[in-house]
Amino acid sequence: MNLFLKSSLNRFNKLIQADKKIMLYAAIVSSVLLSACGGKSTTDQQKNEAVAEKPPVIEQQTELSEHPGLPVYNQHCLPCHQADGNGVPGMFPPLDKKWIDGDDAALISIVVHGMDEEIEVNGEIYNTIMAPLPHLKDQEVADVLNYIRLKFGTSQEKISTEQVKTVRNSDV
Protein backbone atom coordinates (compact mmCIF):
# COMPACT_ATOMS: atom_id res chain seq x y z
CA MET A 1 0.00 0.00 0.00
CA ASN A 2 1.44 3.33 -0.91
CA LEU A 3 1.42 6.33 1.35
CA PHE A 4 -1.27 8.16 -0.55
CA LEU A 5 -3.68 5.25 -0.42
CA LYS A 6 -2.99 4.71 3.25
CA SER A 7 -3.67 8.31 4.19
CA SER A 8 -6.83 8.52 2.10
CA LEU A 9 -8.01 5.28 3.70
CA ASN A 10 -7.37 6.83 7.10
CA ARG A 11 -9.31 9.90 6.16
CA PHE A 12 -12.09 7.69 4.86
CA ASN A 13 -12.16 5.77 8.17
CA LYS A 14 -12.25 9.00 10.12
CA LEU A 15 -15.09 10.19 7.93
CA ILE A 16 -17.03 7.03 8.62
CA GLN A 17 -16.38 7.40 12.33
CA ALA A 18 -17.57 10.98 12.18
CA ASP A 19 -20.59 9.81 10.28
CA LYS A 20 -21.23 7.15 12.91
CA LYS A 21 -20.91 9.77 15.62
CA ILE A 22 -23.42 11.97 13.83
CA MET A 23 -25.75 9.04 13.36
CA LEU A 24 -25.39 8.08 17.00
CA TYR A 25 -26.05 11.66 18.00
CA ALA A 26 -29.06 11.79 15.69
CA ALA A 27 -30.32 8.54 17.15
CA ILE A 28 -30.00 9.88 20.70
CA VAL A 29 -31.68 13.15 19.81
CA SER A 30 -34.52 11.45 18.01
CA SER A 31 -35.07 8.97 20.82
CA VAL A 32 -35.12 11.82 23.34
CA LEU A 33 -37.56 13.67 21.14
CA LEU A 34 -39.66 10.55 20.71
CA SER A 35 -39.81 9.90 24.42
CA ALA A 36 -40.59 13.55 25.03
CA CYS A 37 -43.45 13.33 22.55
CA GLY A 38 -44.49 10.04 24.06
CA GLY A 39 -44.50 11.62 27.49
CA LYS A 40 -46.52 14.53 26.23
CA SER A 41 -49.11 12.35 24.60
CA THR A 42 -49.50 10.40 27.86
CA THR A 43 -50.19 13.58 29.80
CA ASP A 44 -52.56 14.65 27.05
CA GLN A 45 -54.25 11.32 27.35
CA GLN A 46 -54.42 11.69 31.12
CA LYS A 47 -55.81 15.18 30.67
CA ASN A 48 -58.40 13.82 28.26
CA GLU A 49 -59.30 11.11 30.74
CA ALA A 50 -59.62 13.69 33.51
CA VAL A 51 -61.86 15.80 31.28
CA ALA A 52 -63.78 12.70 30.23
CA GLU A 53 -64.73 12.06 33.87
CA LYS A 54 -66.33 15.48 34.25
CA PRO A 55 -68.94 15.72 31.45
CA PRO A 56 -71.79 14.01 33.39
CA VAL A 57 -71.86 16.96 35.84
CA ILE A 58 -71.66 19.55 33.06
CA GLU A 59 -74.25 17.60 31.08
CA GLN A 60 -76.62 17.53 34.04
CA GLN A 61 -76.19 21.26 34.59
CA THR A 62 -76.96 22.17 30.98
CA GLU A 63 -79.73 19.60 31.01
CA LEU A 64 -81.25 21.34 34.04
CA SER A 65 -80.89 24.86 32.67
CA GLU A 66 -82.65 23.68 29.51
CA HIS A 67 -85.13 21.44 31.32
CA PRO A 68 -88.74 22.10 30.23
CA GLY A 69 -89.75 22.08 33.91
CA LEU A 70 -87.54 25.07 34.78
CA PRO A 71 -89.80 27.79 33.28
CA VAL A 72 -92.82 26.08 34.87
CA TYR A 73 -91.06 26.12 38.24
CA ASN A 74 -90.01 29.75 37.87
CA GLN A 75 -93.53 30.83 37.03
CA HIS A 76 -95.66 28.64 39.30
CA CYS A 77 -93.57 27.42 42.25
CA LEU A 78 -90.72 29.88 42.76
CA PRO A 79 -92.90 32.67 44.20
CA CYS A 80 -93.47 30.50 47.29
CA HIS A 81 -90.77 27.85 47.36
CA GLN A 82 -88.07 30.25 46.09
CA ALA A 83 -85.32 29.70 43.52
CA ASP A 84 -83.22 27.68 45.95
CA GLY A 85 -86.21 25.59 47.02
CA ASN A 86 -85.83 26.78 50.60
CA GLY A 87 -89.22 28.44 50.82
CA VAL A 88 -90.04 31.22 53.25
CA PRO A 89 -89.71 30.32 56.96
CA GLY A 90 -93.06 30.03 58.71
CA MET A 91 -95.05 30.46 55.48
CA PHE A 92 -93.87 28.29 52.64
CA PRO A 93 -91.93 25.12 53.44
CA PRO A 94 -88.62 24.23 51.82
CA LEU A 95 -89.08 21.53 49.20
CA ASP A 96 -88.43 18.32 51.05
CA LYS A 97 -87.04 15.05 49.68
CA LYS A 98 -89.68 13.22 51.71
CA TRP A 99 -92.26 14.38 49.13
CA ILE A 100 -90.05 15.04 46.13
CA ASP A 101 -88.49 11.59 46.17
CA GLY A 102 -91.59 9.96 47.60
CA ASP A 103 -94.68 8.41 46.08
CA ASP A 104 -95.43 9.66 42.54
CA ALA A 105 -99.18 9.99 43.04
CA ALA A 106 -98.81 11.85 46.34
CA LEU A 107 -96.40 14.33 44.73
CA ILE A 108 -98.63 14.86 41.69
CA SER A 109 -101.61 15.32 44.01
CA ILE A 110 -99.91 18.22 45.84
CA VAL A 111 -99.80 20.17 42.57
CA VAL A 112 -103.16 19.25 41.03
CA HIS A 113 -105.25 18.97 44.24
CA GLY A 114 -103.21 21.16 46.60
CA MET A 115 -102.09 20.38 50.13
CA ASP A 116 -103.72 21.19 53.42
CA GLU A 117 -102.18 19.32 56.29
CA GLU A 118 -99.82 19.84 59.17
CA ILE A 119 -96.34 18.95 58.03
CA GLU A 120 -92.87 19.13 59.54
CA VAL A 121 -89.96 20.20 57.35
CA ASN A 122 -86.45 20.63 58.75
CA GLY A 123 -87.83 20.57 62.29
CA GLU A 124 -90.36 23.31 61.62
CA ILE A 125 -94.15 22.79 61.63
CA TYR A 126 -96.13 24.17 58.68
CA ASN A 127 -99.88 24.18 58.93
CA THR A 128 -100.56 26.26 55.87
CA ILE A 129 -102.37 25.61 52.64
CA MET A 130 -100.99 25.15 49.18
CA ALA A 131 -103.76 25.96 46.72
CA PRO A 132 -104.09 23.51 43.82
CA LEU A 133 -102.75 24.53 40.43
CA PRO A 134 -105.40 22.93 38.18
CA HIS A 135 -104.63 25.21 35.25
CA LEU A 136 -101.25 23.53 34.72
CA LYS A 137 -101.33 21.04 31.83
CA ASP A 138 -100.44 17.37 32.41
CA GLN A 139 -97.20 17.94 30.54
CA GLU A 140 -96.31 20.99 32.65
CA VAL A 141 -97.01 19.11 35.89
CA ALA A 142 -94.89 16.14 34.77
CA ASP A 143 -92.10 18.46 33.60
CA VAL A 144 -91.99 20.54 36.79
CA LEU A 145 -92.03 17.48 39.05
CA ASN A 146 -89.30 15.78 37.04
CA TYR A 147 -87.36 19.02 37.26
CA ILE A 148 -87.63 19.38 41.05
CA ARG A 149 -86.64 15.73 41.44
CA LEU A 150 -83.41 16.43 39.54
CA LYS A 151 -82.81 19.81 41.15
CA PHE A 152 -83.83 19.28 44.78
CA GLY A 153 -84.28 15.53 45.12
CA THR A 154 -82.27 12.42 44.45
CA SER A 155 -84.85 10.28 42.68
CA GLN A 156 -84.25 9.55 39.00
CA GLU A 157 -87.78 8.14 38.61
CA LYS A 158 -89.73 9.99 35.95
CA ILE A 159 -93.33 11.06 36.25
CA SER A 160 -95.40 10.63 33.08
CA THR A 161 -98.32 12.68 31.76
CA GLU A 162 -100.48 9.54 32.05
CA GLN A 163 -99.78 9.43 35.79
CA VAL A 164 -100.71 13.12 36.09
CA LYS A 165 -103.97 12.48 34.19
CA THR A 166 -104.84 9.54 36.45
CA VAL A 167 -104.25 11.54 39.67
CA ARG A 168 -106.07 14.57 38.27
CA ASN A 169 -109.13 12.42 37.60
CA SER A 170 -109.06 10.81 41.03
CA ASP A 171 -109.71 12.35 44.43
CA VAL A 172 -106.38 11.27 45.92
Q: Which residues are near ligand HEC by CB under 6 A?
A: 76-77, 79-81, 92-96, 99-100, 110-111, 115-117, 119, 121, 126-130, 133, 144, 148
Least Å distance, CB 128 to ligand HEC, is 4
Least Å distance, CB 165 to ligand HEC, is 16
Distances (CA, A) of 12 to 6, 16, 21, 114, 133: 10, 6, 14, 101, 99
Ramachandran area for residue 123 (φ above 0: left; ψ -120 to 50: alpha; else beta):
left
Give which of 86, 103, 104 is closest to 95, Cα–Cα: 86
Least Å distance, CB 144 to ligand HEC, is 5
Q: With respect to ligand HEC, which residue has the nearer C-beta, 2 or 154?
A: 154
Q: With respect to ligand HEC, which residue has the nearer C-beta, 58 or 129?
A: 129
Question: Of all residues in the chain, what percent are helix, strand and coil, respectively (each to 5)?
Answer: 65, 5, 30
Q: With respect to ligand HEC, which residue has the nearer C-beta, 80 or 166?
A: 80
